[in-house]
Amino acid sequence: MTVVLAGLAIGAVYVLTALGYNLVFVSAGVFNFAQAQFIMIGTFVSYWAAAQLHVPVELGIPLGLAVGFGLGAIEEIAAINPLRRLGGQSELIVTLGVGVVLDGLAYLIWGSQPLEVPFFGSSSPLTVLGGKILPVELTLVCVAVAGALALAAWTRFSLVGMASVAVSEDKAAAAARGIDPRKFSLISVAVAAAIAAAIGPIIGPKTYAVYNLGDQLAIIAFVCLAIGGFGSYLGVLLGGMSVGLAESIGARFVSPPFGDVIVFVMLLTVLLIRPSGLFRTAAVRKV
């Protein structure tokens, strides 16, 4: 059971990363490659709060919200929006550049050594269904599941959520209905960055604060999205947890590096059988 719980904990980190990508993709119609870097920034903000400001690490949540929102807004205004007008998806490349800049900034400020982020709860392992899991891991799993369900409900039942989907599907039609795609893009990129940075106090104790953490998470988050289906929050949840479980179970019962192989076999299988992802319906387009 410990193997399963470890898989869920790993999967929760992937889910939380991929949810941010999905939120921006749905609401702004952009794949923001720098999204995982906002999680990295959040872990450093939490470290900074706890180790250098000597305030409770929970304050990393509001601090992360503020820092993430500010950085996300700057990215949208200075990098994404100007290039989007040019067309050709050139904004995708600039988001990669923003990610590199954020990595570099973190390196310059905090250095290359991993830093410990304390958890606000207990650090003693818990026994759940006969397996061992750390309180921070249990928190990660709960937050990931709750976050995915909440975002899925938001897009399905709230007016703003439905408007966000409308913007991603057809900007012109959404604008004709009185929705401002420009404003949606700005707010969604900033909010997604804020949420990513705000979860630093729960991701940091698991991953440490490391300047290249975003690079490590981004690839797997992309795989989770591809498996679950771009645009589907429930798909992200299923994709992320599946990947985490595959890594963990593969490592225990086959061979540790084989876990990575299983993940990419899963990806290839899904792409071959259902290219739009498990939870995404293929759209018909006139060509």
Q: Which residue ranges make up the site for another protein (CB under 8 A)?
A: 2-3, 6-7, 9-10, 13, 107, 111-116, 123, 125, 132-134, 206-208, 210, 212, 216, 220, 247-249, 251-253, 255-257, 259-260
Looking up tokens 């771009």 gives 230
In this complex, which beta carbon is closest to another protein, that of residue 72 or of residue 244?
Answer: 244
In this complex, which beta carbon is closest to another protein, that of residue 132 or of residue 156?
Answer: 132
In this complex, which beta carbon is closest to another protein, that of residue 107 or of residue 149?
Answer: 107
Q: Which tokens sit at 103?
A: 């990595």
Crossing angle of helices 90-110 and 35-47, rounded to 10°: 20
Q: How far is the CB of 114 from another protein (least distance, A)?
A: 4
In this complex, which beta carbon is closest to another protein, that of residue 6 or of residue 80?
Answer: 6
Q: How far is the CB of 5 from another protein (least distance, A)?
A: 8
Q: How far is the CB of 147 from another protein (least distance, A)?
A: 18
Q: How far is the CB of 242 from another protein (least distance, A)?
A: 15
Q: How far is the CB of 122 from another protein (least distance, A)?
A: 12
In this complex, which beta carbon is closest to another protein, that of residue 216 or of residue 276?
Answer: 216
The answer for residues whose C-beta is within 8 angstroms of residue 223's C-beta and 6 or more apart is 239, 243, 263, 264, 267
In this complex, which beta carbon is closest to another protein, that of residue 14 or of residue 25?
Answer: 14
Q: How far is the CB of 280 from another protein (least distance, A)?
A: 26
The CA–CA distances, whole Å, from 140 to 5, 209, 259 equal 11, 16, 21
